[in-house]
């Protein structure tokens, strides 16, 4: 049995919430890459991990989303190695009872544009994956992907470490908000990532929790891999010069049953969320585990409380 299957043996796991917007709440200036705070403000990065640990997250990420040689082109290989290793160390120290999945984000460059070569992308992901694995991460999470070819390179690099690899895409374009920026569907993403040997496939960020169950269902139908779901707290709006997310923790968690029935194995929240979202999800999972409180609707339209 794979490590992923072992971790899921007792049921779906609740992951953490947003990192970027939480760090901004703690003073991260707009435009500054959050990963640099692993070195300059480790106590604030630790505060985010600790807050999710206290809320009950069973999987916690690392503040390493942009720490690759292309996204942080002004940093040396040695500096990036330190940022990645410290990012893992902070989360491990702050959340000793949680699984630590190290975050690997996109390069920020599209291969099709020719601004970056496949060899450069592969080298960037290889270096980051090796640093994160050496620091003791439990698994590697390749997240917020839009380009299947970039994701292929990331998965190949991550798999070489021997760790379990989760890969998650953003579906936020098209009439049904069910395609990535490059036009990939859940089915094409699932098929491609199975070919590359991913251990988990999923979706994060996007337009909000309302579309997540549909995406989850399509991913689950397209492959047998466990499904990772981590939607945004709605779409951001600018209010008084500040970014605001309108989705409440209670509303977000009201979709838990739908996500569970759609086949999600990992459920968390992305941009705009906070530890309250995790507490609400855990409460919803607890309620869902009490079958006497629910019955199947005779019309087959879902689950309703007795």
CATH number of the domain to which 142 belongs: 3.20.20.330
**Vertex 54, ends 6 and 99: CA angle to 5°?**
25
Q: Report residue 300's pLDDT band, with 50, 70 and 90 as the boundaries.
A: very low
Question: What share of the chain in percent tops pLDDT 70?
Answer: 94
> Which CA distances in Å does 158 have to 21, 137, 149, 300?
26, 12, 14, 42
Q: Averaged over 228-257, what is the pLDDT?
A: 90
**Vertex 49, ends 207 and 124: CA angle to 5°?**
70
**The token pair that represents 169 in the structure block:** 């895409």
201: β partners: 167, 227
Residue 80 has pLDDT above 60, yes or no: yes
Encode pLDDT of 17-70 as tens digits: 999 999 999 999 988 999 999 999 999 999 999 999 999 999 999 999 999 999
Structure confidence at residue 299 (pLDDT): 36
Structure confidence at residue 291 (pLDDT): 63
Cα–Cα distance, 76 to 64 (Å, whole number) = 15
Q: Which residue range is the domain that position 76 belongs to?
A: 3-305
Encode pLDDT of 189-220 as tens digits: 999 999 999 999 999 999 999 999 999 999 99
DSSP string, 197-218: T-SEEEEEETT-GGGHHHHHHH
Residue 244 has pLDDT above 90, yes or no: no
Structure confidence at residue 155 (pLDDT): 98
Mean pLDDT estimate for the chain: 93
Closest by CA to 149, choosing from 188, 187, 175, is 188
DSSP 253: H
Instruction: Say how many domains are in the chain.
Output: 1
Structure confidence at residue 290 (pLDDT): 80
> Which CA distances in Å does 234 have to 117, 183, 248?
34, 21, 9
Residue 159 has pLDDT above 50, yes or no: yes
Place of tokens 């936020």: 172
At 13 the three-state DSSP class reads strand
Residue 302 has pLDDT above 70, yes or no: no
């Amino acid at each position: 049995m794979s490590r992923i299957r072992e971790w899921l043996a007792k049921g779906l796991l609740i992951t953490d919430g947003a990192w970027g917007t939480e760090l901004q709440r703690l003073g991260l200036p707009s435009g500054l890459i959050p990963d640099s705070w692993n070195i300059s403000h480790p106590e604030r990065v630790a505060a985010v991990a600790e807050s999710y640990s206290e809320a009950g997250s069973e999987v916690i990420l690392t503040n390493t989303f942009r720490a690759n040689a292309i996204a942080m082109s002004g940093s040396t290989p040695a500096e990036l190695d330190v940022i990645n290793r410290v990012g893992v160390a902070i989360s491990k120290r702050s959340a000793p009872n949680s699984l630590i999945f190290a975050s690997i984000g996109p390069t920020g460059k599209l291969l099709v544009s020719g601004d970056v070569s496949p060899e450069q992308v592969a080298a960037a992901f290889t270096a980051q994956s090796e640093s994160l694995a050496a620091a003791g991460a439990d698994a590697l999470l390749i997240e917020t992907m839009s380009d299947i070819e970039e994701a292929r390179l990331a998965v190949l690099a991550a798999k070489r470490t021997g760790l379990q690899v989760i890969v998650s895409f953003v579906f936020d374009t098209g009439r049904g908000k069910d395609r990535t920026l490059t036009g990939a569907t859940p089915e094409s993403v699932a098929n491609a990532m199975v070919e590359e040997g991913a251990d988990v496939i999923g979706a994060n960020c996007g337009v909000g929790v309302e579309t997540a169950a549909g995406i989850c269902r399509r991913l689950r139908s397209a492959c047998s891999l466990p499904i990772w779901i981590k939607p945004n707290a709605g779409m951001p709006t600018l209010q008084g010069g500040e970014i605001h997310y309108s989705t409440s923790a209670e509303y977000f968690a009201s979709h838990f049953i739908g996500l569970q029935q759609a086949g999600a194995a990992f459920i968390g929240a992305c941009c705009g969320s906070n530890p309250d979202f995790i507490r609400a999800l855990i409460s919803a999972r607890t309620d869902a585990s009490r079958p006497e409180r629910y019955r199947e609707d005779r019309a087959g339209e879902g689950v309703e409380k007795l």
